[in-house]
Amino acid sequence: MRALAAEGDHRDIDDAGHVHGALSERYQQALARVDRLVSRNQDAVQRRADAGGERWILVVVADHGHVDTGGHGGDSAAERTSFISRWTTTGRLREWLAVVAPHELMDLILAERAPQS
């Protein structure tokens, strides 16, 4: 399985969350922009995988959550909760626990590279 480390800083999402809150129209618009970017990346990776017989995994993770009214930095569940989205060119992913600690993430990603039975 191919691995590509590509870090993206989508500050517009974070800024919209700080200023306008997670339920705001601006926050939703920023999420939609990044969603389109991820979709284009998925399409490009799938084309490459199909052409070269490669297996890829794409992982998207946020560094923190936001409160509905804006901001973060506190200790609320909304601020400490994030998400992990995974996609693979094969359509087969290992099952992960519902809660993943930050220090567990890389080991889980690397385990996806091992052949599945």
pLDDT tens column, 58-91: 888 888 887 888 777 788 888 888 888 999 999 9
pLDDT for res 117: 57
Whole-number pLDDT of residue 71: 73
Interval 2-58: pLDDT, tens: 445 555 667 788 888 888 888 899 989 999 998 998 899 999 999 999 999 988 988
What is the pTM for the complete model shown? Answer: 0.77
Using alpha carbons only, give the angle 33, 38, 66 rounded to the nearest 5 degrees. 60
State the pLDDT at residue 112: 85
pLDDT of amino acid 72: 72
